[in-house]
Amino acid sequence: MSRVLHTPAPPGPTHDGAGPAPRRSPRRILGTPVTGPARWVLAVAIFAAVMVTSMGLGGVIRDMRWLVQAAVVVGGTLLVPALMRRHPALGPFAPLGALAGWFMALTFVYFPGTAILGVFPTLTTVSQALDLASHASTVITSNVAPVPSHVSMHFLLSAGLGFAALLIDTLAITVAMPAASSLGLVLILLPGALTTSTGISGSSFVAAAAGFLLILGCARWYAPDGKLRTDTPKVASGVLGKAAALGAAVVLLMTLATQAMPGFTQGLYPQGAHLYGTGSGGSLDPMLSLGDDLRGQSSRVSLRYRTTATEAPYMRLTTLENFSGKIWEPSPLPDGLDSSLSGLAPAAGPSPSLPRATIETRISVPGVGDEWLPAPLSVTSVQQLPGTWLWNPSTETIKSQNSTTAGRSYLVSSEMPVLTPQILANATAPPRADLDPVFSQLPKDVPDIVASTADSVTAAAPSPYGKAMAIQDYLRSDEFSYSLSTPVVEGYDGSGMGVLADFLEQKSGYCVHFSAAMAVMAREVGIPSRIAVGYTAGSKDSSLDETGADGVVWRGYEVTGRDAHAWPELYFEGLGWVPFEPTPSRGFIPDYAQDDAAPAPAPEANPTGANQGASTAATTAPATTAGAASGADPGEINAARWLAGTGWVLLALFVLAIPAVVRWSLRQRRLAQVRTPGPGVFPAVVAWREVLATAVDHGYVVDPALTPALQAAAIAGFLGTTSPPGLELVLHSYERSVYGGAPAWAPASASTSARPGRGAGAGLEAGAGNGSGSGSGSGSGSEGLDASEELEKLAELEELAELEELAEAVEHLVARFQSSAPPWRRLRATVAPASLLPTSSHKSSL
């Protein structure tokens, strides 16, 4: 039998030294070029899968302008390895080619002016790439998804998708593990699941699943063992239909799963999440996702300041005035903004005759900063601030285009209007005609509860100021309470119009809900409004106090992430933009916004840092203190996050374990059938099938044209030996069972027992009637019957011993495959056994 298992390879060319050595031509070195469509089909399949999956990143960044650039990078990454695979000798080095293509494509798209011929990077290219990566890190750590659309984020997303394409190409083709290539697609989906408030849409997940099935099918038909087929594969009859049905079932199951799993319908983290692991924390997102900031940020310092003001001011970062009904966001920066930061004045400021109080504030920002400059309202100048910063007079905000506030220290001068209730009550003129209409616009789908509440609350108010006070007093009344957890638990965390309606019904939320409610209701009754995002005054820090040479006292304060806040600013003609404070137990109520029914003393910052850094000013509502609201609630939220994350990990492990469990169960069932065959079971055939399946799992490709003997010889060569233990027994048993001369174990039936000489061949091939045997005697005496029974018992014992030996031979071969395979091949055989696929090559050979 060893001669059958060992088929020597044909002798190769020799050289006897009598003539010149053979020439080493490029064809001889690189191999015969591959001209079939396989490499291009696989490249296109991977490209399509990556790009359709990238649609799930739509909620991570505000627009999709980067998608075309990313497509060029992904295409360039896949083009180089596809070209290399034309030459078989270069195929193993395709991942290096993909890496080179990745670098060149990124260079071509983002840094062509710094590169040689526009694609070959230089040191300048590397420097600019590092600068973009650093800026992208800042954008990520200082924003909540969807982050601003910036070239640095475009670069980061393009680089990430290109790397995912590189990973998928390597796993699916070079390593021949197409099932494991799903890792690359999962990496593309993770940012949307982890950082957005809405999670991944079901359509995005289904698109990713379809892309994965496309890769799996193409890789199976064109490169089942990592070697490209040069001809168009012939698919067995019915396989396409089965594959389509299986794919449809998988997509349907995944679609249903997306409706129940976290990260798809709501997101793992309500209102998005900062990636704190990339920075030191302390930054604040200006996109009104403050729920995550308040729940997630610790007591790390965001900024420190000294001020000459007797009442510590709020620190504004930006304003949100553009309301679509789903999200509040800043208006786009207009062109031609002033960068001198001196002589600043708002576009719609107070009347020159209005009295003002001049204050100065020195601000320092440690650690992670923002693109928006923290400053009090009514800024007139900023000094000692390096870099280019743009002043927007419409919103009275300052933003950098190329740097952040991290590590900056600067001096801000402000002229605060001195307002009183009487001055505000007299401001009854309509807003100026040139005021930007964005401050008054409302979406068409305003819920009835919002409009009716605004009308009923302000019905008795005689002036715009009276209406504003009525709305503020209503939101600060005993009916409302401050809570960080209630919106999450009740499912209305956010600032959209639908969320606002739920908030007015539940009457519990945090600053996002209170400020948005007042801003919308103010617009509903004709008062222009916007939402300011920044920090409350913070905690008094006496160690920062100092007295200037002119005798002016500078009072010091420390602001942490827990002081993150949002509040409404309403416009009054002749007075400009006036802040209000509708959130109970947060910040303080300005003197002009207090009435006889709700007096409040001047604010005095909390020296102990309690109540999340808010002042100790009295409030009209005996609501839960901010300290209580932020004490137990963050723990509950963090626990929910950990549970969600753990659930995702367990789900991933469960999905990865499914093929391994199915394959293990199938092997155990086959071994049991070999040891104790039931009716219609041919143990030798089952044993041979298991050997072929195990070989396929470990990368062997079955050639259906080979005879069993040649197939066994090929398997022996695959294992690197001439006759592995057990293979000869399995082969010999299979040949006897199928082709005649079968051993003494045939399939059992309900009427007859297996007898010596009854072959299995008759059950496998019609007309093979050589298995009738003569094992039963025909004697009529009792001695003949006893002898016959003894022979049958002996035959059964021999049969059981032979079956056990056959099963052990299969187990030895399985162990040999596992021990001789490299680690990555063993991993593939366990996690993604190829024999389970409907197109597996071993099935057509049986």
Q: What is the pLDDT of residues 799-813, one digit of tens each?
A: 788 888 888 889 888
Query: Cα separation of 247 and 239, whole Å?
Result: 12
The residue with greater pLDDT, 513 or 268, is 513
Position 80 pLDDT exceeds 70: yes
Task: Give the rounded distance of the alpha carbon of 256 from its chain centre.
Answer: 19
User: Given its phi and psi angles, is residue 429 left (phi above 0), alpha (psi -120 to 50 degrees) or beta?
Assistant: beta
Region 497-503: what's the mean pLDDT?
A: 82
State the pTM of this model: 0.53
The answer to whether 382 touches 405, Cβ cutoff 8 Å, is no
- Alpha-carbon gap, residue 465 to 5, rounded angstroms: 97
Average pLDDT in the chain: 75
* Res. 178 pLDDT band, cuts 50 70 90: confident
Task: State residue 560's pLDDT score.
Answer: 86
Cis preceding-peptide flag for 146 (omega within 30 of 0): yes
Confidence of residue 612 (pLDDT cuts 50, 70, 90): very low
Give burial (CB, 10 Å; 0-12/13-18/19+) of 325.
middle
Structure tokens given for 24: 């080493």
Q: What is the dihedral of CA 710, 711, 714, 715, to 10 degrees?
A: -140
> What residues are paired with 412 via a beta bridge?
361, 382
More confident residue, 400 or 496: 400
Supply the pLDDT for residue 531. 93
DSSP 202-217: HHHHHHHHHHHHHHHH
For the record, the structure tokens of 155 come out as 């670069």
Gap between the Cα atoms of 78 and 387, Å rounded: 40
Q: Tell me which range, 125-134, 222-231, 515-524, 752-761, is most confidently predicted by mean pLDDT.
A: 515-524
- Does pLDDT of 224 surpass 60? no
Report yes or no: 659 and 836 within 8 Å, Cβ to Cβ.
yes
The C-alpha angle 718, 87, 19, rounded to 5 degrees, equals 85
**Confidence band of 373 (pLDDT split at 50, 70, 90):** very high
> Is it the case that residue 382 has pLDDT exceeding 90?
yes
Q: Strand runs (DSSP E) across 561-624, as ranges? A: 564-572, 576-579
Q: Is the pLDDT of residue 647 over 80?
A: no
Instruction: Supply the pLDDT for residue 296.
Output: 56
Give dist(CA 344, CA 359) in Å, integer: 15
The b/e string for 548-582 (b: 16+ C-beta within 10 A; e otherwise) is eeeeeebbbbbbbbbbbbbbbbbbbbbbbbbbbbb
* Residues 6 or more apart in contact with residue 668 via CB below 8 angstroms: none
What's the CA gap between 167 and 624, in Å, rounded? 51
pLDDT score of 54 more than 80: yes
409: which DSSP letter? E
- Cα separations in angstroms, 278 against 642, 779, 832: 19, 90, 34
pLDDT at 778 over 50: no
User: Does residue 568 have a pLDDT over 90?
Assistant: yes
The answer to whether the Cα torsion of 111, 116, 119, 121 is positive or negative is: negative
Nearest-angstrom CA–CA distance, 253 and 260: 11
Model confidence at 837, pLDDT cuts 50, 70, 90, reads: confident
Q: How confident is the model at residue 415 (pLDDT cuts 50, 70, 90)?
A: very high
What is the 3-state composition of the chain as percent helix, strand, coil, each rounded to the nearest 5? 50, 10, 40
Residue 64 has pLDDT above 60, yes or no: yes
How far is residue 183's CA from residue 186's CA, in Å, rounded to a whole number?
5
Higher per-residue confidence, 45 vs 62: 45
pLDDT value of position 16: 42
pLDDT at 600: 38
Phi, psi of 168 (to 5 degrees): -65, -45
**pLDDT bracket for residue 622 (50, 70, 90):** very low
Classify 118 as helix, strand or coil: coil
pLDDT band at 189 (very low <50, low <70, confident <90, very high): confident
How far apart CA 474 and CA 504 sit, in angstroms, is: 11
What is the number of other CB atoms lying within 10 angstroms of the CB of residue 678?
11
pLDDT higher at 554 or 207: 554
Tell me which residue of 547, 565, 564 sits closest to 556, measured CA to CA. Answer: 547
Whole-number pLDDT of residue 474 = 94
Distance CA 846, CA 842 (A): 7
In the block, tokens 């002009």 appear at 592
Out of 36-50, 278-292, 332-346, pick the least confident: 278-292
Task: Using the predicted structure, report yes or no on whether residue 324 has a pLDDT greater than 70.
Answer: yes
Q: Which pLDDT score is estimated for 704?
A: 84
Task: Give the CA dihedral 523, 526, 531, 532, nearest 10 degrees.
Answer: 180
Q: What is the pLDDT of residues 575-594, one digit of tens each?
A: 999 999 999 888 888 999 98
Lowest mean pLDDT, pick from 96-110, 131-145, 427-441 = 131-145
Distance, CA of 750 to CA of 766 (rounded, Å): 21
pLDDT of residue 620: 36
Q: Quick one: CA torsion of 62, 68, 74, 75, rounded to 10 degrees?
A: 170
- Position 742 scores a pLDDT of 45
Written as six digits, the tokens of 587 are 């910040």
Closest to 48 (Cα-Cα) out of 203, 168, 151, 154 = 168
**β partners of residue 532:** 319, 567
Tokens of 748: 């059992």
With 80 as the cut, is the pLDDT of residue 521 above it?
yes
Which band of pLDDT confidence, cut at 50, 70 and 90, is reported for residue 23? low
Rounded Cα distance between 603 and 564, Å, is 18
Res. 226: pLDDT tops 70 = no
Does residue 38 or residue 382 have the better pLDDT? Answer: 382
In the prediction, which pLDDT does 265 show? 47
Weakest-pLDDT range from 163-167, 312-316, 770-774: 770-774
User: How confident is residue 625, by pLDDT bands cut at 50, 70 and 90?
Assistant: very low
Lowest mean pLDDT among 24-33, 514-523, 679-688: 24-33
Q: 824: burial class by Cβ within 10 Å (0-12, 13-18, 19+)?
A: middle
Please say if the pLDDT value at position 792 is more than 60: yes
* Residue 339 · residue 390 · CB < 8 Å: yes
Q: In terms of pLDDT, which residue wins out, 145 or 453?
A: 453
Asked which of 402-416, 583-597, 736-750, 817-831 is least confident by mean pLDDT, the reply is 736-750
Q: What is the pLDDT of residue 158?
A: 92
Flag whether pLDDT at 12 surpasses 50: no
Residue 761 has pLDDT above 90, yes or no: no
Whole-angstrom Cα distance, residue 331 to residue 125? 33
Residue 209 has pLDDT above 90, yes or no: no
Cβ(97)–Cβ(77) under 8 Å? no
pLDDT digits over 684-741, tens only?
899 999 999 988 888 888 888 888 889 888 888 888 877 787 888 888 888 888 886 5
Provide the residue count of the chain: 846
End-to-end CA distance of the chain: 21
User: What is the rounded distance in angstroms from the CA atom of residue 193 to the CA atom of residue 162?
Assistant: 20
